[in-house]
A and B are shown apart, each in its own frame.
Chain A
């Protein structure tokens, strides 16, 4: 094997390792919701994903997530909270509030309808 081949093959393996780590293994930090007018509120920007995409809240207090979609991509036009049977259309540029009260500790995932963009609400006691 020539030196060029070695370099190309090693670069390929490095690329695979990076993909596995960056997309699958990387763990993200959560954002703690702030209390605003009796509800735990977080503003979520929708653009290629949800920012923030991990939100920590307390059980028993209402949660208000203000979604603002800043892209025209069809993927993100609906946000679905699967476990609690809620969904919302997110017209581009508008802020849409999704409100619910988590009853117990656990995780409430949310995502676009096709499951490409993902986030979760981590509920603590």
Chain B
């Protein structure tokens, strides 16, 4: 800012001198109200002399930058400012020292242009730097999540070391409330860990021996020791930071068009400036040379290649950062641009819309039987079984505070179910085939079974001592916010398609619950990519959301692949957008952010193009023949400085973007700023 203040201080007297109408300020009445010609000449000489240090000090970077660019056969904003201000200075000096070179009355110096333009552009750059810092706030927040120190065991003693000094294999001690410094595997102790920073999951996750822990997540009440398995730039957080940084530095396809313009822009402006000079020199009114110099300088100064060049990158940085705040990692500018234009979104059912693991949903006793007793028998019978459905029933019973007893005899009947003895009673749990084999009459519960199947659930009969006792049902349940997320996607105008390997009935049941009309059922894992391809061939821009390894080909085939809630490396590799949480809301959010970012970039780009394509002709004086209007180079300098600041400010507006998919508070990254180590 010192550079600005110096230039501004010099600007004031040069400005006062340049305008004869304000000369009374320094030539008061008691001096006769006028200044003699020789005094004015000397004052101009003085003002030329004090403008030199403005160029050498405040505007130094323009001249060194322009020279460096020139050596590379390129030209940039520095070139334009350096040329414009020095042309004004040289013309003024020649006019002052050798007025006879010019026709009578044409030798008017204007040192004020040099000083004021440098002051304004330096001020604009200072504002721009500050605003740019705000745009990339998200990345600083992410880096700030890292713990500063770690407590490690060395030589049998606990010692606190900077987190950079933690080595692979170190045993790290984590106390209640502390942040976990690096990634590792628990070797001793137990606690619940708040992993919301990485996964977006708000409930703390229980961690015991052999469980993985992730750096930057926060321990709650217990304490434990873990062995460091990933440190330094290999930790999950460091990878995330790198991914976000790479994305911020990448190019959106829309910016490639801008590149073509940028590469021709500055030389083209220089040529326009020469043409402007010649036009005024040959056809302009008297004093033609003064008009020619002023307009040529104004053209150089008003042109703003920065506004054009910065428009897309600034919005991209803000947009990618906004995504990261909610655990949405957008790989690059291209992914962001395509995501903003999606027409169709394909959701894998299992693990994406649903939780991906079966849960006990219904316990329906036959008439005269007790539900608790039914579940207790069913869970006891299933206890030794490793089948996922059996495990779901046992877990369901435990969730309802029922501890199933150990069966005294157990036989798994493949394809049928289990036959067991529980507390002296013969208990059979399984499908209709098992009941038929055991001659059990299922008519009393058949109505229940039909309804459960209609709902897409897997119903299992439970018979006790040869009589039907009831049915229990297991189903993959829907994640709690899937319905809302799908509604937001539809509100955004997307066609939502569900893709699943399940049978059409189960698929339709889930689809109905979440409000999806279009279902592609019984799709084998290897055919998922083909289905996505077909949707693309039908003319849509297709996004695919999946959660695991078997979705990877479909994620790659889609225009935009979203990997949901995993952090598994394979899915991240294959995906254009990685959602750290398991919630589908992240997909809706990613699309909303993409749309907002692209809209913002286009606004800036349009504004910048409009500014230059209107500003340059006006600066060249096209309005003069019609309205007698000529732009002052001082106003051009102010406009130029303001135009690039406007682009950065516009990108900053994205920081206040509120998505429909996250109407609540911002997540993890923002929130955990308050958590200290």
B602 sits at the interface (CB 8 A):
no
- Chain B facing A: main interface SS: helix
Between A and B, how many residue pairs show CB distances below 8 Å? 119
Cα A51 to Cα B71 with chains together (Å): 10
On A, residues with C-beta under 8 Å from B are 5, 8-9, 12, 15-16, 19-20, 22-24, 26, 28, 47-51, 53, 71-75, 78, 80, 82, 85-89, 111, 113-118
CB distance from B494 to the nearest CB of A (A): 26
Cα A13 to Cα B66 with chains together (Å): 22
Whether A23 lies near B250 (C-beta < 8 A) is: no
Closest 3 interchain pairs by CB?
A48-B68, A87-B249, A49-B72
Known: A23-B267, A82-B250, A113-B249. 17 other contacts (CB 8 A): A12-B278, A16-B274, A19-B271, A20-B271, A23-B73, A47-B68, A48-B67, A73-B61, A74-B125, A74-B128, A75-B76, A75-B309, A87-B245, A87-B249, A113-B313, A115-B259, A118-B74
Determine the residue in chain B with the shortest Cβ distance to A86. Answer: B246
Interface residue from B71, B255, B264, B274 paired with A48 (Cβ < 8 Å): B71
Cα A47 to Cα B71 with chains together (Å): 10
Determine the residue in chain A with the shortest Cβ distance to B331. Answer: A85
Whether A48 lies near B282 (C-beta < 8 A) is: no
Given contacts A23-B74, A49-B72, A87-B250, A114 and B309 within 8 Å (CB-CB): yes
Q: How large is the interface on B (under 10, 10 to 19, 20 to 34, 35 or more residues)?
A: 35 or more
Whether A8 lies near B245 (C-beta < 8 A) is: no
Residues in B neighbouring A88, C-beta threshold 8 A: 249
Cβ contacts A to B, 9 pairs, < 8 Å: A12-B278, A16-B271, A19-B274, A48-B78, A49-B69, A49-B71, A74-B132, A80-B251, A116-B309
Residues in B neighbouring A73, C-beta threshold 8 A: 61, 65, 78
B396 sits at the interface (CB 8 A):
no
Residues in B neighbouring A53, C-beta threshold 8 A: 72
CB distance from B242 to the nearest CB of A (A): 11
Residues in A neighbouring B431, C-beta threshold 8 A: none
Residues in A neighbouring B258, C-beta threshold 8 A: 115
Determine the residue in chain B with the shortest Cβ distance to A23. Answer: B267
B262 sits at the interface (CB 8 A):
yes
Cα A20 to Cα B245 with chains together (Å): 37
Residues in B neighbouring A116, C-beta threshold 8 A: 69, 74, 76-77, 262, 266, 305, 309
B281 sits at the interface (CB 8 A):
yes
Determine the residue in chain A with the shortest Cβ distance to B103. Answer: A4
Whether A12 lies near B61 (C-beta < 8 A) is: no
Cα A12 to Cα B248 with chains together (Å): 42
Whether A24 lies near B267 (C-beta < 8 A) is: yes
Determine the residue in chain A with the shortest Cβ distance to B262. Answer: A115
Cα A75 to Cα B267 with chains together (Å): 17
Whether A23 lies near B278 (C-beta < 8 A) is: no
Whether A26 lies near B73 (C-beta < 8 A) is: yes
Interface residue from B76, B250, B255, B271 paired with A117 (Cβ < 8 Å): B76
B275 sits at the interface (CB 8 A):
yes
- Fill in one digit per residue for B61-103: 1 if any A CB lies within 8 Å of its CB, else 0: 1001111111111111110000000000000000000000000
B111 sits at the interface (CB 8 A):
no
CB distance from B281 to the nearest CB of A (A): 6
Cα A75 to Cα B266 with chains together (Å): 14
Cα A49 to Cα B73 with chains together (Å): 9
CB distance from B25 to the nearest CB of A (A): 37
CB distance from A6 to the nearest CB of B (A): 11
Residues in A neighbouring B125, C-beta threshold 8 A: 74
Residues in B neighbouring A47, C-beta threshold 8 A: 68
Cα A118 to Cα B81 with chains together (Å): 20
B263 sits at the interface (CB 8 A):
yes
Cα A9 to Cα B274 with chains together (Å): 10
Residues in A neighbouring B67, C-beta threshold 8 A: 48
CB distance from B15 to the nearest CB of A (A): 28
